[in-house]
Chains A and B, each alone.
Chain A
Amino acid sequence: QQQVKQSPQSLIVQKGGISIINCAYENTAFDYFPWYQQFPGKGPALLIAIRPDVSEKKEGRFTISFNKSAKQFSLHIMDSQPGDSATYFCAASHYYNTDKLIFGTGTRLQVFP
C-alpha cells in the first residue's frame, strides 16, 4: 500500500516553463513533507520541506503548495532549467514516528532547451 502517491511518473518541460509534481497522502498524522532531488549516480538531496501549518513555502524557483483539507501537496519549479533535470521524490513523516520517512515513487523531470 503506497502511503504517499506521486504523479506524474515522468515529466518533460521546455526551458523557462513551470514544472508541477503532485503528491497525495491519506494519513492525517503526517506532519512533515519534504521534497528530495536526485541526480543520476547520486543520492537524494533535501530540496525543500513544509509543515501543515502553512499553505505555501518558497525557496528561490522552488515552491511547495500544501492543501491540508485535500491531503495533497505539490512542488512547483518556476523558470525550469536544463540543470533541474533530475528525479524528484516527495516524502512524509508522522509526528509521533519521525524516524520513518515515507517516500513517493518519484518523478523523472527532463527540461529541454
Chain B
Amino acid sequence: EAQVTQNPRYLITVTGKKLTVTCSQNMNHEYMSWYRQDPGLGLRQIYYSMNVEVTDKGDVPEGYKVSRKEKRNFPLILESPSPNQTSLYFCASSPNPGHYGYTFGSGTRLTVV
C-alpha cells in the first residue's frame, strides 16, 4: 500500500529534551515536506525537500532541523523542544506538489511540557 508513515503517533516530552519524529514514504517521491497544524492557523510548512541532500526552509522553520540522506526518509528533529512547539505534525510526500499535491501521513501529536 502506498503510504507515508510517521512515528510516533503520540509523544509527550519535556522542555529541552532532543527528539526525532521519523517519516518514511514508499512511493519513490522526490518531494517531502513537514507541516504543523494548529487551531485557527491551518497547516504551516516547516521544511521541505526536493530530493536527497536538498532541503529548504518553509514558513516556520525556527527550532526545527531536517535531513534527507535517503529518498524515502525525512526525519524532523527538535534539538531543544519548547512548549510552543506543542502541535500536530504531518509529513507529506509528492512527485510534484504543484501538479499532484501532497500525500500526507497520519500525523504525530507532540506535547512539550
- Tell me if B13 is interfacial: C-beta within 8 Å of chain A: no
Contact A101 B101 (CB under 8 A): yes
Decide yes or no: A46 and B97 within 8 Å by CB, A100-B48, A104-B42 being known contacts: no
Q: Hey, which chain A residues are within 8 Å of B106, CB to CB?
A: 41-43
Q: Hey, which chain B residues are within 8 Å of A9, CB to CB?
A: 40
B interface bracket (residues with beta carbon within 8 Å of A): 20 to 34
- Tell me if B64 is interfacial: C-beta within 8 Å of chain A: no
The binding surface of chain A is classed by DSSP as strand
Contact B98 A103 (CB under 8 A): no
Complex interface bits, B31-45 against A, C-beta within 8 A gives 1, otherwise 0: 101010000111111
Residue of B at shortest CB range from A42? B106
Contact A103 B43 (CB under 8 A): yes
- For the complex formed, measure the closest distance between the CB of A41 and the CB atoms of chain B, giving whole angstroms: 7
Interface residues on chain A, number (Cβ under 8 Å)? 27
Q: Give the CA-CA distance A42 to B56 in the complex, in Å.
A: 26
Q: Hey, which chain A residues are within 8 Å of B101, CB to CB?
A: 34, 36, 46, 49, 91, 101
Q: Give the CA-CA distance A34 to B43 in the complex, in Å.
A: 14
The listed residue with most B CB atoms (<10 A of its CB), out of A6, A95, A99, is A99
Q: Which parts of A34-49 form the interface with B (CB within 8 Å)?
A: 34, 36, 41-46, 49
Decide yes or no: A99 and B99 within 8 Å by CB, A43-B107, A106-B42 being known contacts: no
Give A contacts to B, CB under 8 Å.
6, 9, 31-32, 34, 36, 41-46, 49, 89, 91, 93-95, 98-106
Give B contacts to A, CB under 8 Å.
4, 31, 33, 35, 40-45, 48, 50, 56, 58-59, 90, 92, 96-107
Q: List 12 A-B contacts (CB under 8 A).
A: A32-B99, A43-B92, A46-B101, A46-B103, A99-B50, A99-B97, A100-B97, A101-B33, A101-B98, A101-B101, A101-B102, A105-B42
